[in-house]
Chain A
């Protein structure tokens, strides 16, 4: 049993924390207003290796563990959940799928530019009619010679606006359900592939979320990722790992809520003393901190389980569910502690709440997580440890 982070991860966390405080924090309000993370920031993140966290070093990535990746995402998200989401989706969805299932040639072609941040990556599973019920997706991949023609729509695709590389799940065998879906690499320039509507969102506004529309887009055989008809199975593995990232994102936002609230409560005087001396405020801070600590431990447990190569399905769902829900609660408490000022954009906490809420929805809603957890329990996973 060991509850200390390894020293190299502590050092990495310190570096990212400093970077986020100095280079991200001053701009987050503007980026949220303008619904954009500037290209310069993407480049800076790339230079720091933060856009290739989980990609092996041989392909230009940082080759980090899931634990280190979680720390990185937490530190970014502490200041800006939207930047955290961009980084998490790039690393934890697009790159994760390629790392998991791509051929050596595909990895050679795509990973170095994605890992350096020269290209951004996106991942397309969700459709207008298939979110939680992802296996009901309708995008078709029709055989055309040795390749396929893709037709369909994807919904709520993070990073889609600027991505060069998209991993798209489409149906290759309509008679098979979940085992009739394959994954394909689509490049931005592929004919007939259109980045559609950009969503105007409640939170995570600086992180672009788009629809994708494609009609008879030709992809050659070299674009199939992983095994034919097993793309959805790979997608589920990707989501399982991605959940740990969203858990870390939630932990970061919750920590931001707590840190801001402690500082504010110590400064703000009411009734002749700092509000930090009032029990009602103290109790809110104590609850935020306790839930934050628990959430972080759950994320780390899931991450280290993945790093050991073990099945982390239950732990990843538990971590994501718990961390996201406490993050929203932390956002609400943080605004309450800041009072009227918390309701204005001069304070970051209203944005933290707006950003946190996404975490209860994306990469598997809380309802899906509960279904997964209950199913694992009923299969006999109650003795978790």
Chain B
């Protein structure tokens, strides 16, 4: 049993951390103010292979593994939460279902450009009337003339502005309970597919979150991803993996909170000494570090299981719910450490708090995660015992 990254992974992590320190972190505040990613960022990340970390080399990817991928999301998020989810939503939610459910022609068509970041990907399941209740989606895909006609509105699509490739979920069989939805690969420039509302958000402001509006959008037959009627399964299995990415994002944000709290508390002098000398502050630092270690252990255990093709859904749900709630607590504590300055945008704490909150919401709210976990416990209580 060994909790450590291997030597290659550690080396890659150190290189990535150094890169982020210069090219991602210093620009994070401005990205948040501007509400967009700066020109050249996507190309830079693409050149580093970060959009295809575990895409096999035969499909043009970097050919590494899931644990390494999770590490990249953690490091990027530590520098900038929005940049972390740019990569995570692309890789976990668009690249991954194509890898897992796509036909060979689909994989060869989409993966190389996605892996290079030449195309950005997104995932579109949620609708105005169906979030947690994903199975109640209504966007329709009707068979016609050998293809599909899509009509409906999707909401809260991460990477909506940047994405060229959409993994879309629509109703193909409204009368068949449990097999209503199918998954499709849609290219954004298909006539009838437009970006609707662009959301203005509390946090991860540089990350685009948009509606997608489909009006008589015609797709070829081979746009179907996986089996007809199995869309919900594609979605839920994909989300299991996405949860690890969000857990890693939350973990990265937590690390940033701890790091800046350590730095600030050692500089800020009150009552003639650094506030780091005061137990009240030490307590916050200790709690942040302890919860962070726990979140990391859960996240990497989930990633390791996925990498080894073992069941990991419960572990991923645990990692996500725990790491996200830790990140909210840690960033709140970090802001408190900064005191009044923490409330001002000159200092990073408030942005970290705003960024952290989303991790408790997307890719399955904390409530959904708890339902997933509870279902495992109740259906298979012996799962608890294994050590």
Given A10-B387, A318-B289, A382-B258, A3 and B1 contact (CB-CB distance below 8 Å)? yes
Interface size class on chain A is: 35 or more
Interface size class on chain B is: 35 or more
Contacts of B381 in A (CB 8 A): 259, 262-263, 266
Given A282-B378, A298-B293, A377-B289, A290 and B2 contact (CB-CB distance below 8 Å)? no
* Contact between chains at A321 and B385 (CB < 8 Å): no
Binds B, one of A132-140, A197-205, A351-359, A368-376: A368-376
Q: Majority SS of interface residues in chain A? A: helix
Question: Can you list 28 A-B pairs, Cβ within 8 angstroms, ordered by A?
Answer: A1-B2, A3-B1, A6-B1, A9-B387, A13-B387, A17-B385, A74-B387, A75-B387, A255-B384, A283-B374, A286-B321, A289-B373, A290-B321, A290-B373, A291-B322, A293-B301, A294-B294, A297-B3, A298-B293, A370-B282, A373-B286, A373-B289, A373-B290, A374-B276, A377-B262, A378-B282, A382-B262, A385-B4
* Contact between chains at A279 and B378 (CB < 8 Å): no
Q: Majority SS of interface residues in chain B? A: helix
* Contact between chains at B297 and A258 (CB < 8 Å): no
Q: Count CB-based A-B contacts (< 8 Å).
A: 156
Q: Which residue of A lies closest to B301 (CB)?
A: A3
A332–B176 Cα distance when bound, in Å, is 44
Q: Which residue of B lies closest to A261 (CB)?
A: B377
Query: Which residues of B are in contact with A by a Cβ distance under 8 Å?
Result: 1-6, 9, 67, 255, 258-259, 262, 266, 276, 279, 282-283, 285-287, 289-291, 293-298, 300-301, 304-305, 315, 318, 321-322, 367, 369-371, 373-374, 377-378, 381, 384-385, 387
Query: Which residues of A are in contact with B by a Cβ distance under 8 Å?
Result: 1-6, 9-10, 13, 17, 67, 71, 74-75, 255, 258-259, 262-263, 265-266, 276, 279, 282-283, 285-287, 289-298, 300-301, 304, 315, 318, 321-322, 369-371, 373-375, 377-378, 382, 384-385
* Contact between chains at A67 and B289 (CB < 8 Å): no
* Contact between chains at B373 and A286 (CB < 8 Å): yes
Contacts of B285 in A (CB 8 A): 373-374, 377-378
By Cβ-Cβ distance, the 8 closest A-B pairs, closest first, are A282-B374, A374-B282, A297-B297, A294-B294, A286-B373, A286-B370, A370-B286, A373-B286
Contacts of A9 in B (CB 8 A): 387
If A265-B378, A385-B296 are given as contacts, then 17 extra A-B residue pairs at C-beta distance below 8 Å, sorted by A number, are: A3-B1, A3-B305, A262-B378, A263-B381, A294-B298, A295-B294, A297-B297, A298-B293, A300-B1, A301-B3, A301-B297, A318-B290, A371-B279, A373-B290, A377-B289, A378-B266, A384-B296
How distant is A67 from chain B, measured CB to nearest CB, in Å?
6
A318–B296 Cα distance when bound, in Å, is 13
* Contact between chains at A289 and B377 (CB < 8 Å): yes
Kindly name the residue among A258, A293, A301 whose own CB sees the greatest number of chain B CB atoms within 10 A. A293
